[in-house]
Chain A
Amino acid sequence: MRLDPRSIDPPGARPNAGDPVLSVRHLNVEFSVPSRRGLLPRKVNVRAVNDLSFDIGRGETLALVGESGCGKSTTGRAILNLIPPSSGTVLFDGRNIAGLEERALRRTRARMQMIFQDPYGSLSPRQTIRSAVREALDVHDIGERAGRSAVVDTLLETCGIRPDLRDRYPHELSGGQRQRVGIARALATGPDLIVADEPTSALDVSIQAQILNLIRRLQRERQISFLFISHNMAVVRNVSARVAVMYLGSIVETGLTHEVLSLPLHPYTKALVSAVRVPDPAVERRRERIVLSGEQPSLMELPSGCPFHSRCWLRKQIPTSNRCADERPVPRTISPGRTVSCHFAEELG
């Protein structure tokens, strides 16, 4: 990989000046699901997010990457309290919002917004896009009533919606246009934090680039922090200076995106990075791909100890230790801003 470690970072890289906008500590999210085991129906608790801690600075972007079912979307929703966390704190601007009632949260909602993966499903089908954006302003009573239409028009224009599309319904727009509307709505209330849940994964490459560029522009021009949730390493590289890699509800590695990509430390991250396809046949031929065996286990059968040990391809290099199966690794700081949850990260290097 031709990766220059000095390469300039994408927008969204900010030195951690002052207090973070978002500070998550020991976040846990549990679901109760019906179990089929045994004669009587009963419910078991499944832990979708397991003891997560991270910070996002003002104007900074943190990417949460992982494969489907790793709990990254649940994390995003738990932070916004759309799913109630079962324990832990979510400090937004110094105030714990975990477990607050919807009513108490409403004011805060204006300052933390969300962009969804499915830009069709996330817009109300019977509402024109203009009124969808307008509603966000009305709900939070932002600005003078009379001036709101103009604000809405400006927002839509900022996000690249042609004026003649404003009175259309979502089903009359293309996927990329709908996503722009979703972004305009999220921007309407002037948020400090936007959780973007796979905002481009339903879009075509050429449209994805448009949306990514829009997000990059917002990062540059407005002091908005992003939690950018994605399964696509290349997309993450493009929009986020810092990344946290998740596996089975836990963060296994964090660090600057280009460092994590050029020198992954956790065995899972190594496999994940090696699996990313590059649009370059020469690179594709040369590279060594780590093909993991099996698939991510179900959350209901969470392995003991390290969540990754059942699939860890480097474990045979540490033959004598049972530590991986017995002891759950906690994030250790390897270098400033770089943490790894692996007992043997240094040895396996």
Chain B
Amino acid sequence: MTLLEVEDLTVRIDTEFGTVHAVNGISLSVERGETLAIVGESGCGKSITGLSLARLLPEPAARIAGGTIRFEGIDLVTASPRTLADLRGRDVAMIFQDPMSTLNPVLTIGEQMAEALLRGNYGVSIRPVRDRLLELLDMVGLPGGEAMLRRYPHQLSGGMRQRVMIAMALAQKPRLLIADEPTTGLDVTVEAQILDLVGRLTEESETAVILITHDLGVVAGVSRRVAVMYCGTVIETAPTDTLFDAPMHPYTVGLLHATPSIDADADEDLLAIEGVPPNQLRPPAGCPFAPRCAWRQERCWVEVPQPRAVGEQHQVACHNTATREEAQQGRPARLAPAPPPPNLFGIGEVVTFRGVST
């Protein structure tokens, strides 16, 4: 049964330079106990999506401008603050990239974990929940028992802090865990530990996970299904195997070819995606990827492609998808990409970037 159903979610952020079109009508769904990865580069709106799913956007500057987020039938967009507060922590938990800034530096680990456990009953000593806390420490593999509870965040390493955050997030056995770049900034060997831990714990408690990451390697190792985001839209959703095997959106293809790999041939240059993502203050009129796309046709400049089903659980938002062979080659077999129509300059930012020759 579907745990979370997002439809046409739109988020706008007001800045001093204008309104950022951070998320532009995305639709996602997460089944019970499933792990969905949202992958994309910085500024693509993946973190904003994660925050809006937990209704943790920095309102009012950032606001949900449309769409629905149904969590077990409750629409989180219209839910009362009371309902949301009830849901957060108990049913929906979130962990972030930098556990140093999400832990309070002046409280001990024990106090903060107790607070998470007792859900905001301040001033409670940790004694009544001591056993439970030690159990949690054990669960996330933090050594030291009681002494660990008395330590402060700055006395722990990044990996240990992330374990504390995981313990706090999973203390209530939530049904959905939103993990926003949980291992970014950690060393690879520690990353392996943390991802293993999250995988094992959520499997045990049948917690669904939305894993937000920029790292395709992490996606390949952890999730069953992937949504690729670009410029505030989900451009491709597919089972992990399909996505890596036969990606169809040119951006996904580009991303896969741009990622260096330890077992790839090193005698060839990477196939870089030229240019930079568009300015989301003034998004382009057509497909947001068109300016950087080698597959683009004339209609791509003017018509926003809508997601369409191309296979089982596989949706792509593209007018001119890559074939299997093209995806393997990383470049289109057909004609040169269509130049932008002359009247398009001035609408949004058209990047004509003279990148490095490859």
Contact = CB atoms under 8 A, between A and B. Distances in A.
Interface of A: 1-4, 7-10, 67-68, 160, 162, 174, 176-177, 204-210, 212-214, 216-217, 231-235, 237-238, 257-258, 261, 271-273, 275-284, 289, 291-292, 295-296
A292 B189 contact: yes
A218 to B, nearest CB: 10
A237 B263 CA distance: 8
Q: Which 5 A-B pairs have the closest CB atoms?
A: A277-B217, A8-B267, A209-B272, A67-B187, A209-B258
B276 A176 contact: yes
Contact of B270 (A4, A176, A212): A212
A3 B263 contact: yes
A1 B256 CA distance: 18
Interface string B242-265: 001000000000111111111111
Contacts of A258: 266
B71 to A, nearest CB: 28
Interface in B210-232: 214-221
A10 B260 contact: no
A151 B223 CA distance: 50
Nearest to B183: A277
Given A277-B220, A284-B220, A237 B262 contact: yes
Interface string B95-121: 000000000000000000000000000
A280 B272 contact: no
Q: Is the interface of B mostly helix, strand, loop or mixed?
A: loop
Nearest to A7: B265
B273 A209 contact: yes
Contact of B262 (A205, A206, A210, A276): A276
Contact of A204 (B157, B188, B214, B262): B214
Interface of B: 41-42, 157, 159-160, 187-193, 196, 214-221, 240-241, 244, 254-267, 269-274, 276, 353-358
Contact of A210 (B192, B221, B355): B355
Interface centre among B214, B257, B269, B356 (most CB of A within 10 A): B356
Contact of A291 (B41, B193, B220): B193
Interface centre among A1, A162, A205, A282 (most CB of B within 10 A): A205
A238 B267 contact: no
A114 to B, nearest CB: 21
A174 B349 CA distance: 14
B221 A277 contact: yes
A275 B189 contact: yes
Interface centre among B188, B258, B259, B267 (most CB of A within 10 A): B188
B261 A234 contact: yes
B265 A281 contact: no
Given A209-B260, A237-B260, A296-B187, A278 B266 contact: no
A213 B272 contact: yes
B244 A277 contact: no
Given A277-B215, A281-B221, 14 more contacts: A1-B262, A1-B263, A8-B267, A176-B276, A205-B41, A206-B255, A209-B271, A210-B272, A214-B356, A231-B188, A276-B188, A277-B191, A278-B261, A282-B241
Contacts of B354: 160, 162
A231 B191 CA distance: 13
A252 B356 CA distance: 36
Contacts of B241: 281-282
A212 B260 contact: yes
Contacts of B276: 174, 176-177, 207
A186 to B, nearest CB: 16
B267 A291 contact: no
B192 A291 contact: yes
Given A68-B187, A160-B354, A277-B221, A213 B261 contact: no
A213 B187 contact: no
Interface centre among B159, B190, B256, B260 (most CB of A within 10 A): B260
